[in-house]
Amino acid sequence: MEVLRILSPTAILGYGFPVSSFKAGLDREPHVIAVDAGSTDPGPFYLGSGQSFTQRSAVMRDLEYMVAAVLERNIPLIIGSAGGSGAKPHVDWNVSIVENVLRKLKLTAKIAVIYSDIDQKFLIEQLKLGRVRPLGPVKELAEEEILKSTNLVAQMGQEPIIEALRQGAQIIIAGRAYDPSVFAALPVLKGFDLALSLHLGKILECAAIAADPGSGSDCVFGYLAKDHFVLEALNPERQCTRLSVAAHTLYEKSDPYSLPGPGGSLNLRKTVFQELPGGKVKVSGTAFIPTEKYFVKLEGAALSGYSTICVAGVRDPVMIEQVDSIILEVKKRVADNFKDMADYHLHVRCYGKNGVMGALEPFPNPAHELCLIIDVVASTQDVADTICSFTRSTLLHYGYPNRKSTAGNLAFPYSPSDISVGAVYRFNIYHLLEVDNPTSLFPLYIRRTTL
């Protein structure tokens, strides 16, 4: 095989795609359809709670097109980070949708399910053996944090997916996976260059976000050859450019020349991006530098408490001018009123001043109107509700200097004004685990669906 063709339908399974773009991809006769289904970008709630951040009906819509296409063409469909975060509840959720799609289409398939969950006791043992290290500016992992995690996963490389392909799986549903892995697995199995396979996967994982104009809800096609790959947008309204592809290579990376992943890193110092006619881009020169030991990334989430929020608008220029001191005094009033209730955290976000960047905001001059979000996290929902309610009422009627009206300081867009959010989580594990075998942590199960 001189050229391997890969169709990436959408940035995340459930984000959708134009049918015309998808059909254009099928016209190019792909050898595999691969799609990333997850991310840590939406925050720790989804990993911690076991819920998906995409909706079931949207995922099912996308899969109806993909499943029908791969089974008709006898090519594999590979899904990575299934269900959004890739833990067992997410994977099983995604499996159930695939099975529903197959029943609806009256088709059968050989399905491979790869789990990525890490047992707490096992990880504690590995921690004691010195095989766990921090990833980035985080603390050394403590045993108590492992025990607090509600869901704990490792990020697989392409090796477990390759094993599923070797076993003849038609549809592969993988747990938490290094984003490029689902795209690189078949190429690596077929003998294509590892570096180019992973680099192509790095760009294909977000589909048309790598095009101009970018979109997470559109398709992109990849052509992988021996010493290069080519990217092509499938929607005539978009095109791949040298700038758009190079920029997306750096997406979510802190080093422009080194992109780390399981087992090593991509070295981009000799990478060349070349525009071709027809809105295509050719990429070559990328190298893979293996690490001395093989590491996988660990991701864990733990319960932080329960949250209540309140959204309110401020339009009075007198209040806006002194909003920081007003919020500070209100917080003092809350603390004084609930001296015996210390198990809560109160934060007021001030959009229009520094709501996004906080103390790092370089232009803190207030806008003519502000959006305040009272955000309380406490040990119970009742405590969170209580603190939020008291903060809201105190801020609503707070008497600041030169106030002209006593009718109220806040405008509420919603009634009820206080919203009980429920359980909230934090990422408590973001570390590397040394492994001897890239497949040992990721059990593979083969199942055949029946009508």
pLDDT in tens, the chain (451 residues): 899 999 999 999 999 999 999 999 999 999 999 999 999 999 999 999 999 999 999 999 999 999 999 999 999 999 999 999 999 999 999 999 999 999 999 999 999 999 999 999 999 999 999 999 999 899 999 999 999 999 999 999 999 999 999 999 999 999 999 999 999 999 999 999 999 999 999 999 999 999 999 999 999 999 999 999 999 999 999 999 999 999 988 877 788 899 999 999 999 999 999 999 999 999 999 999 999 999 999 999 999 999 999 999 999 999 999 999 999 999 999 999 999 888 999 999 999 999 999 889 998 889 999 999 999 999 999 999 999 999 999 999 999 999 988 889 999 999 999 999 999 999 999 999 999 999 999 999 999 876 6
**pLDDT at residue 341, as a whole number:** 87
Question: Strands, DSSP E only, in 37-165?
Answer: 77-80, 110-114, 132-134, 149-154
CA distances from 199 to 181, 323, 380 (A): 10, 48, 46
Contact 374, 391 (CB under 8 A): yes
What SS3 class is residue 167?
Answer: coil
Give the pair of three-digit tokens for residue 244.
């758009």
**pLDDT at residue 450, as a whole number:** 67
| Helix residue ranges per DSSP H, 205-284 | 242-249
Question: Strands, DSSP E only, in 315-437?
Answer: 344-351, 370-378, 418-435
**pLDDT at residue 405, as a whole number:** 82
Q: Integer distance in angstroms from the first to the last C-alpha of the chain?
A: 35
Give the pair of three-digit tokens for residue 360.
């790092």
- Which of 15, 21, 22, 10 is CA-nearest to residue 65? 22
CA distances from 382 to 306, 308, 389 (A): 9, 9, 10
Bond preceding residue 416 cis, omega within 30 of 0? yes
**From CA 249, how far away is CA 231, in angstroms rounded?**
12
**From CA 367, how far away is CA 365, in angstroms rounded?**
7
Question: Strands, DSSP E only, in 141-199?
Answer: 149-154, 171-174
**pLDDT at residue 108, as a whole number:** 96
Q: Which residues pair with 267 in a beta bridge?
A: 258, 287
Look at phi and psi of residue 342 and say left if phi exceeds 0, alpha if psi is from -120 to 50, else beta.
alpha
DSSP annotation of 226: S
**pLDDT at residue 47, as a whole number:** 98
**pLDDT at residue 123, as a whole number:** 98
Cα-only R_g, the chain: 25
Give the pair of three-digit tokens for residue 223.
């052509």
